[in-house]
Amino acid sequence: MNDPQKPDVTGVHIPPPGRPFLRFYHSDALRTKTLAVLQTVEHAHDRTRHRKALTDLVLELTDSGLEYYFLRPLKLANVGFVVEQSAQLGMSGVKRMMEPVIRNIIGSMNTHQLLAVCRHMQHLME
């Protein structure tokens, strides 16, 4: 099966225009932080020095996305306090399990891999 995606110069597959997608809205402050971190990593002489900042950003965006895609719809559906609290507890467990994995993965990336992650994130923001 042919892959309809074509890699950009970093080898990241960029979907063609018009493909279906989902996005979530986040705060202006988080967008400003996202742009600042991505720009810092992209323009750094030694991108690996910014692994922690990129990791922290990915974790913050993940938290924001989980809230937007899962917890917010529960509130809109008026599922009740107990269900909302159960969902928040479950999401806390998921985040606790994901954090060290994300930290280890991004923390071991080389400069080209970090740039690929940044480019992908920028593409998601378009």
| Residue 104 maps to a domain | yes
Judged against a pLDDT cut of 50, whether residue 70 lies above it is answered with: yes
| Residue 112 maps to a domain | yes
Tell me, what's the pLDDT at 120? 92
CA angle 44, 45, 49 (to 5 degrees): 70
Domain span holding position 39 = 28-125
Nearest to 114 by CA among 62, 61, 60, 38: 38
In the numeric block, which tokens belong to residue 44? 């750094």
- Residue owning tokens 């993965």: 105
Model confidence at 30, in pLDDT bands (50, 70, 90)?
very high
Judged against a pLDDT cut of 60, whether residue 117 lies above it is answered with: yes
| Residue 23 maps to a domain | no
How many structural domains are present in the chain? 1
Judged against a pLDDT cut of 60, whether residue 10 lies above it is answered with: no
Model confidence at 20, in pLDDT bands (50, 70, 90)?
confident
Q: Which residues pair with 13 in a beta bridge?
A: 7
3 state DSSP class of 13: strand
Tell me, what's the pLDDT at 110? 97
% of the chain residues with pLDDT over 90: 78
3-state helix, strand, coil in the chain (%, to 5): 70, 5, 25
| Residue 6 maps to a domain | no
